[in-house]
Amino acid sequence: MAQRTNNYKFNFTYVRSGVMRTAVALLISFSVAACRSNIEYDSGLGIASNFDSDEMHPINVSHEKLGQHLIRFESTLTGLQTNQKKKLSNFVKKYKFLSDHERNGRLLVSIPTNSHNAEAAEKILKDINETIKLSGIDPTIVDINLETVPKRKYHHIRVSYLSFTAEGPECGNFPTNLANQSDNFSYENFGCASQKYLSTVANPADLVGKRSFTQ
């Protein structure tokens, strides 16, 4: 019986190319995994959630006292006297005729508590509110502050008006070379310019909260 010999021909070129493609695919997948391992994700939002311009570059809003009027009174007084009403009205009108930029705060009336004349202060407060209203000031922009003072002392009522000021952040800070970073974070100055521009708003009180339609 004649022997049959099976001759198998292998295509080594095809094998080598297949192995090469597999190796390249694995190398790419490892590289991508290595890059992704340095990124921290927060609820699927990624690194963008780690940046907040309000926290990175805050705007400092403060208020300063532009004027103050003192009302001195005895414990037996049940209301403002005529000359006291006139002086208070003149003071309030100064606030009314301030420029829009200066007149961005509120009127503050501070009355004492626990003092010898605290009971009289509550009675006088009604006349104060009426005088302010007759001077052309909207009562909704008047705040009443109950001020705790030492007992057994007479204390005065203070009427003052405040003005808000806004100070933006200092920009131009570039300490990090992003070319040497692989975490894709923004540079330190990112968002600073927009915050600086926002701080120049005409009325800084708008940065604190919304105003009424009459303000």
Q: Is residue 11 part of a domain?
A: no
3-state secondary structure 90-140: HHHHHHHCCCCCCCCCCEEEEEEECCCCHHHHHHHHHHHHHHHHHCCCCHH
* Residue 214 forms part of a structural domain: no
Q: Give residue 134's domain range.
A: 53-209
In total, how many domains does the chain have? 1
Q: Write out 25-70 in H/E/C secondary structure.
A: HHHHHHHHHHHHCCCCCCCCCHHHHHCCHHHHCCCEEEEEEEEEEE
Distances (CA, A) of 54 to 29, 149, 166, 195, 212: 38, 38, 14, 8, 25
Mean pLDDT is highest, among 35-44, 67-76, 177-186, 202-211, for 67-76
46 lies in some domain: no
Q: Flag whether 68 is in a domain.
A: yes
In a domain? residue 194:
yes
Q: Is 32 within the bounds of a domain?
A: no
> What's the pLDDT score for residue 50?
55
CATH of residue 190: 3.30.1330.60
Q: List the structure tokens of 110.
A: 């501070």
Write out pLDDT tens, residues 104-124.
778 899 998 888 888 889 889
d(CA 159, CA 14): 93
pTM of the model: 0.54
User: Does 85 map to a domain?
Assistant: yes
Window from 6-10, 19-23, 100-104, 191-195 with minimum mean pLDDT: 6-10
* 38 within some domain: no
